[in-house]
């Protein structure tokens, strides 16, 4: 069960990191700013997922990194909303 949890949380982190890479690669190829800001959003989501991984699996009781996660999530959401409102035609 523990291994399954590690797998799932790790998969979530890797997925968001993968999305980040795909989006910045797409931005490098197309120079469409929507992709840059969406990529930046996923940078923060990735940070969020990695910190979540640490917070729940690596160090579940020692620290509570909740505020850091909130900050990352809000930064990511701000980037995404900026992208969708101003750069999505």
Partner 1 sequence: MTDREDQVDFSDAFCAFLQSTVASVNAAELLLMLWRKPDQAWSIGELAAAIDPIGSLAEAEARPYVETFGARGLISRLEDGRVRYKASTDFEAHVQTLARLYLERPVTLFRVIYALRDTKIRTLADAFRIWRP
Partner 2 sequence: MMDIISAYLSGAVTLGYLVAGASFLRFWRKTRDRLFLAFGVAFGLLSVNQILATAIDAGDESVIYAYLLRVLGFVLILSAIVDKNLSMRR
Between CA 64 and CA 21 the distance in angstroms is: 28
Q: Which of 38, 51, 27 is nearest to 84 (CA)?
A: 38
Q: Does 58 bind partner 2 (CB under 8 A)?
A: no
Q: How many CB atoms lie within 10 A of CB 80?
A: 17
Q: Which of 12, 14, 17, 34 binds partner 1 (CB under 8 A)?
A: 34
Q: How many CB atoms lie within 10 A of CB 10?
A: 14
Q: Which of 9, 27, 44, 53 binds partner 1 (CB under 8 A)?
A: 27
Q: Which residue is associated with the tokens 């989501």? A: 45
Q: Which of 9, 16, 38, 51 binds partner 1 (CB under 8 A)?
A: 38
Binding site for partner 2 (CB under 8 A): 5, 8-9, 11-12, 15-16, 18-19, 22, 49, 52, 56, 60-61, 66-67, 70, 73-74, 77-78, 80-81, 84, 88
């Amino acid at each position: 069960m523990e291994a399954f949890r590690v797998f799932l949380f790790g998969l979530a982190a890797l997925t968001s990191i993968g999305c980040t890479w795909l989006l910045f690669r797409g931005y490098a190829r197309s120079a469409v700013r929507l992709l840059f800001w969406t990529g930046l959003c996923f940078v923060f989501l990735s940070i969020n997922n990695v910190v979540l991984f640490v917070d729940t699996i690596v160090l579940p009781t020692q620290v509570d990194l909740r505020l850091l996660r909130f900050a990352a999530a809000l930064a990511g959401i701000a980037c995404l909303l900026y992208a969708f409102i101003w750069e999505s035609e």
